[in-house]
Amino acid sequence: MSQVTNIAFIRARSGRSEELGRRLLDLVVPSRQEPGCINYDVHRSDIDADLWCVYENWRSADDLAAHFDLPHMRAFVADVPELVDGDLDLRRFLMMSEPAPWRL
């Protein structure tokens, strides 16, 4: 199986950016503890305070699918309509290069 990268671009509703950021950061520790998680990082745009990005790498597509079925992710997804302006922009990629040597 190939490593899977998921990149989520998330725009906060007006006045909800700080709350969205807290909720995204609350996902970091439990997500990183999942068996297939390679990394799980939250970013905020330096020119648009309402735009957030979650950059995550998983051992496999099955590991990523399992991630979305866990309670911490289900709770977040249930609150998305209150926090997010529009749809989540989720983009999935397969790693084509060899992993960096320090990760072997």
Query: According to the model, what pLDDT value does residue 95 have?
Result: 83
What is the set of domains in the chain, with CATH numbers? 4-95 (3.30.70.100)
CA distance 14 to 60: 35
Structure confidence by residue, pLDDT tens digits, 22-57: 999 999 999 999 999 999 999 999 999 999 999 999
Of residues 94 and 12, the one with the higher pLDDT is: 12
Instruction: Tell me what pLDDT residue 51 has.
Output: 98
Length of the chain: 104
26: CB partners within 8 A, 6+ apart: 72, 76
Asked if the model's pLDDT at residue 11 lies above 70, the reply is yes
| Contact between 73 and 67 (Cβ < 8 Å) | yes
43-92 pLDDT, tens digit per residue, is: 999 999 999 999 999 999 999 999 999 999 999 999 999 999 999 999 99
C-alpha torsion angle, residues 97, 57, 94, 102 (rounded to 10):
10
- Cα distances (angstroms) measured from residue 34 to each of 15, 25, 44, 65, 91: 32, 15, 23, 12, 20
